[in-house]
Amino acid sequence: MASDILPAAALDQRRLRGIYFTPPEAADYLARSAEYLVRREFGRSLADCAVIEPALGDGALARAVLKVAPAARILGYELVPEIAALARRLLPLAVEIRAESALAGFPDLDPGEIPVILGNPPWRGHSANPGVLADLLHDWIPAGERNTKWLQDDYLRFMRWAQEVVVRSGRGLVGLVTNHSWVRGVTHGRMREDLLRAFDDVRVLDLHGSTLRPEPEPGPGPGGRRDQNVFPVRAGAAIVLMMRVSAGGKLPAGGEFNQLRISDLRGSRRDKLDWLARHDWASTPWRPWPDPADPAYGGWPSLPDLFGIWSIGMVSGRDRDAYFATPEAALSRHPDLSRTELFQAQFRQGETRWTAFSLHTRPRRKVMRHLLVPGKKALIALRQSGPGVRVRHMVADRPIDNCVLSTESTARAFAFPLALADGSWNLDPAPLGLGDPVAAFDHILRILDDPTYQSRHRAALLRDFPRIPPYPGE
């Protein structure tokens, strides 16, 4: 493997920057798909386009492009000098290699040139790469979003950079290997909308393989076979292909967004690579996403629309130092703690433990304090989760841990108090066609408990907070 001949310092840089070299099969899929699309939409070959690889790595994608278009002109960026030197040894001299970050600026293209951006950008939650994208990334942050850390990953910076290059040129093609979390991620909704505004066509081949949100492949046995990743990482992978055909685009101002189309590839790593080696964009079975559902669902109020204040549950950072079976155990571990600070929290379903706000890295005191008042209660619900999470809501009468419903990494529980400590209501019944907050709370619970509702809106319930239909009346 190319990585076997890198010096130790370069391997450290790979880990720091989240660099994983592209399997040849995935590179070939992207190159064949790009050649097919530029011929179909622009009447050209890749050899007649400006092929840009913003994260060159060992040059796997450049080699794949040269297989289908030997005369292609390729500009590759690689920030790590040792990896750039490796690519230089593995690629022909006709490939221009710049040992710098593509994110430091934008390439100068001749008028009429069609940019084709192909790459496997780094995956790293907190960027280690310099760039010019801070202001542009704000376009992808939803209004009022409290948790933006999932929008800071390097691969998203490269996606936004590629989008900007194509928009500035008026037309072009983007083909990237990415983390797949943006396809269904709750905080990525505005990003998806922006991509669908900028491009006439967006397709995602979801390679799955996540161990963060494991999804079994249908197969023999009660649980099916375990899905595998094509990369040695915990997050699932995807291949995205986005095309802008003309400067004006196909979308009228204020018109409907184009619909993202998706295809799923599950199985062993070897099975996935074998499939990629035999297919391209034209032979991939695409389908609309999200899957067609009740058209009324999107118009119903979501839980955050109904409740005034709400938050994710408490985050301890280390449960054994924050939760205890008895007050005495807590005071023994933390002698400086006052007994009056202690309270019982809902640690897991059916299990309470003693804790104090001061023992948590994120105590969520603004919301949780209202649940210290006897008789107060809150709806506990998930914002998103994998299909393996069985219980998605409950009612609690005390502060909650964020893992109360599930320890799955994406299945964090949120608390929606019915009333506040001062006795005022925190639930507005009007959007549900009701005048009584208690009746509205009961209506929400009946809806969430309804098996028909759960089945009909299963896909939507895995992606975001539940939406609640109005009370139907007597």
Domain that holds residue 46: 2-289
pLDDT tens string 378-408: 999 999 876 678 889 999 999 999 999 998 8
Give the confidence band of 127 by pLDDT, cuts at 50, 70, 90: very low
Q: Do the domain assignments include residue 217?
A: yes
Percentage with pLDDT > 90 across the chain: 63
Assign 3-class secondary structure to 256-288: CCCCCEEEECCCCHHHHHHHHHHCCHHHCCCEE
Quick one: 328 and 274 in the same domain?
Answer: no
Nearest-10 crossing angle of helices 24-42, 60-68: 50
Model pLDDT, residue 448 = 95
Q: Please tell me the pTM assigned to this model.
A: 0.69
Q: Do the domain assignments include residue 431?
A: no
Quick one: 344 and 198 in the same domain?
Answer: no
Quick one: 260 and 322 in the same domain?
Answer: no
Quick one: 110 and 35 in the same domain?
Answer: yes
Pairwise CA distance, residues 94 & 243, whole Å: 26
pLDDT tens string 17-55: 446 789 999 999 999 999 999 999 999 999 999 999 999
- Find out whether 198 and 163 touch, Cβ atoms under 8 Å: yes
pLDDT of 249 > 50? The answer is: no
pLDDT tens string 304-362: 999 999 999 999 989 999 999 999 999 999 999 999 999 999 999 999 999 999 999 99
Q: Do the domain assignments include residue 78?
A: yes
Going by C-beta distance under 8 Å and a sequence separation of 6 or more, which residues neighbour residue 340? none
Percentage with pLDDT > 70 across the chain: 84
Quick one: 380 and 275 in the same domain?
Answer: no
Q: Domain boundary at 262, 289, 316, which?
A: 289
- The strand order across the sheet containing 201-208 reads 96-98, 73-77, 50-53, 115-119, 172-179, 237-244, 201-208, 261-264, 287-288
Quick one: 107 and 208 in the same domain?
Answer: yes
Task: Show the tokens assigned to 326.
Answer: 């008895």
Residues 264-279: what's their mean pLDDT? Answer: 95
**Dihedral over Cα of 416, 419, 420, 426: its sign:** positive
Quick one: 36 and 98 in the same domain?
Answer: yes
Nearest-10 crossing angle of helices 189-198, 154-169: 20
Phi and psi torsions of 380, nearest 5°: -110, 125
- What SS3 class is residue 206? strand
Quick one: 274 and 351 in the same domain?
Answer: no
The CATH number for 28's domain is 3.40.50.150
pLDDT of 81 > 60? The answer is: yes
Residue found under tokens 């994608």: 61
Q: Do the domain assignments include residue 138?
A: yes
Looking at the 3D structure of the chain, how many domains does it have? 2
Q: Do the domain assignments include residue 471?
A: no
Give the confidence band of 148 by pLDDT, cuts at 50, 70, 90: low
Quick one: 235 and 377 in the same domain?
Answer: no
Q: Do the domain assignments include residue 33?
A: yes
Quick one: 213 and 353 in the same domain?
Answer: no
Residues 134-142: what's their mean pLDDT? Answer: 75
Pairwise CA distance, residues 310 & 307, whole Å: 7
Q: Do the domain assignments include residue 442?
A: no
Q: Domain boundary at 221, 255, 289, which?
A: 289
Q: Domain boundary at 237, 260, 289, which?
A: 289
Model pLDDT, residue 293 = 58
Quick one: 115 and 251 in the same domain?
Answer: yes
